[in-house]
Amino acid sequence: MNFQLNVWRQANAKSKGKFATYEARNIAPDTSFLEMLDIVNDELTERSEAPIAFDSDCREGICGACALTINGQAHGPKHPAAACQLYMRSFDDGKTITVEPFRAKPFPLVRDLVIDRSALDRIVQAGGFIAARAGSAPEANSIPVPKHNADLAIEAAACIGCGACAAACPNASAMLFTAAKVSHLAFLPQGAPERTLRVTKMVRQMDAEGFGNCTNTYECEAVCPAEISASFIAKLNREYARAVLQRSVGE
């Protein structure tokens, strides 16, 4: 198969970026999208041009490193899947493919298609944890968790932290990411003591990072490789309202 690539190139955060066009020739349909970029990069290297920088690591859809907007969709046209799980057989031969980074103000560009997503780490640092000192945990089966809650918790916990939700959101909102972590811990009894503080701090950090606001378009859940449901955002809203009430009304 042959493709024409329209790729965003930008040397660093300060320089001005632009699109560049490359040919990808003789690509086997079983080649993954990232492997296709590898091939193009090897050709660029041979021609003494700078290879296209893009992030990837596990290449099996779980680490969340890959972050490409392909033909106007975060992670490309096949959902649910991360960009690394996208194969060239999903594209029509001879077509032009536009590749852009995930775009949001809190994701500053590092180079070409690589962005800095440390904003997401800072949201977790603000409260996305349960304080449990190693050595002080009670026996694991001493607190039963209803299966229904445990199942909901893992559905939310499946988030791979790729940031596609914010990239796809018309408002660049990271609400789905934050909602997933808040919900995961709110569904478990172990998360109860810090429940109020957690949601308050995480939402405050999310806002401070400069993400946009949720307008319930649900574009996030459509592109989420971990199939996190936007109903967790409703859960986040509920948790937040509850926290505000508790903190303003008191006991």
Partner 1 sequence: MTNFPGFYRSSIGKKMIVALTGVILMLFVIGHLLGNLQIFLGPRWVNDYAQHLRDLGPLLWAVRITLLIAVFLHIYFTVSLALDNRRARPQGYEKRNYIKASYASRHMVVSGLVVLAFVVFHLLHFTGRKFNARFPMLKNDPLNHYDVYSMMVYGFQNVYVSAFYIIGLFLLTLHLTHGTSSFFQSLGLNDKKLTPQLAFGARVFAWLLFIGYTAIPVAVLLGLIHPAQQL
Partner 2 sequence: MIGKLEGKVPPGPLEQKWRNHKNNSRLVSPNNRRKFEIIVVGSGLAGGSAAATLGELGYRVKCFCYQDSPRRAHSIAAQGGINAAKNYQNDGDSVFRLFYDTIKGGDFRSREANVYRLAEVSNLIIDQCTEQGVPFAREYGGLLANRSFGGAQVSRTFYARGQTGQQLLLGAYQALCRQIALGTVKMFPQTEMLDLVLVDGHAKGVITRNLCTGQIQAFAGDAVVLATGGYGNVFFLSTNARGCNVTATYRAYKRGALFGNPCFTQIHPTCIPVTGHHQSKLTLMSESLRNDGRVWVPKRTEDCAKPPNEIPDADRDYYLERKYPSFGNLAPRDIASRAAKEVCDEGRGVGPGGRGVYLDFADAISRLNEDTIRERYGNLFDIYQKITAEDAYKTPMRIYPAVHYTMGGLWVDYNLMSNIPGLHVIGEANFSDHGANRLGASALMQGLADGYFVLPYTLPNYLAGQIGKRPSTDHEEFKLVESEVRARVKKLLEVNGERTLTSFHRELGLLLWDKCGMARNATGLREALEKIPDLRDEFWKKVRVPGEGESYNQSLERAGRIADFLEFAELMCIDALERDESCGGHFREEHQTPDGEAQRDDENFAAVFAWEFQGNGKVERPKLHREPLHFEAVHLTQRSYK
Residues that bind partner 1 in the complex, under the rule CB under 8 A: 6, 8, 19, 69, 71-73, 77, 79, 98, 100, 103-106, 168, 170-173, 175, 197, 200, 203-204, 206-207, 210-219, 221-223, 229-231, 233-241, 243-244, 247-248
Positions in 165-224 near partner 2 (CB under 8 A): 184-185, 188, 190-191
Find the binder of partner 2 among 114, 169, 206, 233 (CB under 8 A).
Answer: 114
Q: Which 24-63 positions form the footprint of partner 2 (CB under 8 A)?
A: 27-28, 30-32, 34-36, 38-39, 42, 44-46, 48-51, 53, 55-63
Distance from C-alpha of 3 to C-alpha of 25, rounded to nearest angstrom: 7
The binder of 104, among partner 2, partner 1, none, by C-beta within 5 to 8 A per type, is partner 1
Residue ranges in 70-139 assigned as alpha helix (H): 118-125
Smaller CB separation from partner 1, 59 or 201: 201
Q: What is the DSSP letter of 188?
A: S
Residue 63, CA distances (Å) to 156, 165, 216 in order: 16, 15, 27
Task: Looking at residues 69 to 88 of the shown chain, list those that interact with partner 2 (rule: CB under 8 A).
Answer: 78, 81, 85, 87
Q: Is residue 162 within 8 Å of 154, Cβ to Cβ? A: no
Cβ-count burial of 142 within 10 angstroms (0-12 exposed, 13-18 middle, 19+ buried)? exposed
Q: With CB cut-offs between 5 and 8 Å by kind, which of partner 1, partner 2, none does residue 1 bind?
A: none
92 binds partner 2 (CB under 8 A): no
- Tokens 């290449």 locate to 59
Token couple for 195: 């429940």
∠ CA 159-188-209 to the nearest 5 degrees?
Answer: 45
